[in-house]
Amino acid sequence: MQTPPRTTPRTPASASVDVDAMIEDLRKLVEVESPSRDQEALTASAKAVADVLEHRLGGQAVLVESASGPHVSWSGGGVPQVLLLGHHDTVFPLGTLERRPFTVEDGHATGPGVFDMLGGIVQAVHGLALLDDRSGVEILLTSDEEVGSPASRALIEERALACGAVLVFEGAADDGSLKTGRKGCGTFEVAVTGRASHAGLEPEAGINALVEAAHQVLDIVALGRPEAGTSVTPTVASAGTVDNVVPAAASIVVDVRVETTDEKDRIEAAFAALRPHLDGAELSVRGGIGRPPMPESASADLFALARTLDPGLGGRAVGGGSDGNFTAALGVPTLDGLGAVGGGAHADHEYLVVDAMAGRAELVAGLVEAIRAS
């Protein structure tokens, strides 16, 4: 991608951004690997994040223990007015850093998690550090966003309601735009139970779970409505044991994205209504659309505020979900995509554009001041 032209937002901050210090903190976070579900790694990561918060902002960062690992919470004191939201878990397994170490070269920082979303954490912290007064601001960085936020959703929703406005530091859209809307997203698993038999001697005595799964895949794909923004995509399938046995079991995993609550309800009802095609086959369905849609109306006021600070900012609705979906569904004004400018989320070519870091940090400071003054 081309680096978008940088417009420096107007901010009342009394300090200036130290990009070298930002790179130093980014290196510190990247070099503590933090794959979701690895409790030991996530604990080490949470402590590193807490150290950065306390060093740059003062006060005390609190580790909030959970079944998914520690979340990190920080408060500037006073009446809460704005929540800076992110996560410190990443999708990359332990050992990725050895193969793909943190590097800064040709204007890009690379390494596991630089874009999604450790760079966003650093920008949020250094942006807030520009302000002498940090009262009314809370930071919450969770440990399980990449696996659906099962142990953090309630805390996220509690703090969002308490603060009344949410800034989400997921990576920016491909062209550097903020994310003004997100689809709701979820995963379904359809399990098929058949009956095994010898594939050569008596195939008719079996109930072929693979054949039933093939029927189900076609039924499932037909649920999609691209014109309504609904995608229904089978992504993983498994069936059978050996090549001369009619398979007794099969499973299908399906990714679903929806733009509206009505479509969420329709899709969930349709999965519950799936029925087998083969006599004697049985189906069980689990899962759902765990992240509700984030409508663009949820971000409208905050995006307009951001544009007063940086008129060159773009905004875009995207297909991926984030914890901002939860806060927007509560009716709390939510603006997403304030994190790193870059790309390659979840991929080996993940990168962050270094030249954009200072401008995004300054935008944080300006937004916080504007929200507190409104």
Q: Which of 79, 146, 108 lies closest to 2 in space, CA to CA?
A: 108
- Tell me the pLDDT tens digit for each residue of 255-274: 999 999 999 999 999 999 99
Cα angle 135-136-140, degrees, rounded to a multiple of 5:
110
What whole-number distance in Å separates Cα of residue 241 and Cα of residue 364?
A: 54
Positions in the chain short of pLDDT 70: 1-15
- Tell me the pLDDT tens digit for each residue of 137-186: 999 999 999 999 999 999 999 999 999 999 999 999 989 999 999 999 99
Q: pLDDT at position 339, please?
A: 98
Per DSSP, the three-state class of 324 is helix
Q: Which of 147, 238, 148 lies closest to 191 in space, CA to CA?
A: 238
What whole-number distance in Å separates Cα of residue 25 and Cα of residue 120?
A: 11
| Environment class of 291 (CB within 10 Å of its CB; exposed 0-12, middle 13-18, buried 19+) | buried
Question: DSSP string of 132-185?
Answer: S--TTEEEEEES-GGGT-TTTHHHHHHHHHHHS-EEE-SPPPTTS-EEEEE-EE
b/e string for 314-348 if b means 16 or more Cβ within 10 A?
ebbbbebbbbbbbbbbeebbbbbbbbbbbbbbeee
Residue 12 CA to its chain's centroid (Å): 30
Contact 325, 293 (CB under 8 A): yes
- Which amino acid type is present at position 278? L
Contact 254, 224 (CB under 8 A): no
b/e string for 159-195 if b means 16 or more Cβ within 10 A?
bbeebebbbbbbbbbeebbbbbbbbbbbbbebebbbb
- Which amino acid type is present at position 360? R
Tokens of 222: 């037909």
- In the chain, what are the domains? 19-181+294-373 (3.40.630.10), 184-291 (3.30.70.360)
